[in-house]
């Protein structure tokens, strides 16, 4: 997939993080997103994987199922995307700069915060689509969503701390 491979990988790693089930899914997929984002920050044009991972074939049935489920959604979103729009955000320097918010959103997905995965995942999806199709407007929307996701985390932490404090006071601790 060349340069689109990094965006596609981020998109594929983000989708399972949206599933609201308990367990280590967010931590695993968020960490993998952070790993890919760090490569982008350092100027990688293609995804680097260790040999033992790169040599393993993907199960065909899983790939076909993922494409079948994702194709209708992607076709609905695709008419909004325009390749080569706002080129400064899609060039080498722009891609490297997008690595930092991608990394932060990947780390946010990895945190075990209730209701915390959806805002960073929305940002990651926009940023990934922007990287895949070289659409700077999608990347800009992803950056805006990243700021909103950061605010969401601040609100969750603030109110979570306030609720814990009130509970401790109620219990007399």
- The whole-chain average pLDDT of the chain stands at 80
The dihedral through the CA atoms of 125, 16, 33, 48 has a sign that is negative
* Averaged pLDDT, 40-48: 78
Q: What is the pTM of this model?
A: 0.78
Is residue 165 pLDDT above 80, yes or no? yes
pLDDT number for residue 150: 92
Torsional sign, CA 48, 132, 125, 157: positive
DSSP string, 26-83: HHHHHHHHHHHHHHHHTT-SS----HHHHTSPPPHHHHHHHHHHHHHHHHHHHTT--T
Higher pLDDT, 81 or 12: 12
**pLDDT (mean) for 64-91:** 71
């Amino acid at each position: 997939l060349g340069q689109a491979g990094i965006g596609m990988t981020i998109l594929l790693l983000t989708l399972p993080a949206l599933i609201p089930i308990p367990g280590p899914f967010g931590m695993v997929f968020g960490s993998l997103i952070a790993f890919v984002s760090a490569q982008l920050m350092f100027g990688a044009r293609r995804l680097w994987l260790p040999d033992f991972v790169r040599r393993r074939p993907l199960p065909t049935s899983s790939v076909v199922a993922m494409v079948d489920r994702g194709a209708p959604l992607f076709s609905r979103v695709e008419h909004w995307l325009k390749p080569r729009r706002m080129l400064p955000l899609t060039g080498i320097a722009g891609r490297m700069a997008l690595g930092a918010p991608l990394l932060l959103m990947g780390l946010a997905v990895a945190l075990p915060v209730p209701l915390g995965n959806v805002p960073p995942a929305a940002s990651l999806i926009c940023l990934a689509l922007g990287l895949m199709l070289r659409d700077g407007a999608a990347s800009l929307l992803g950056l805006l969503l990243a700021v909103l996701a950061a605010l969401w985390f601040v609100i969750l932490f603030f109110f979570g701390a306030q609720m814990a404090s009130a509970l401790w006071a109620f219990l007399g601790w």
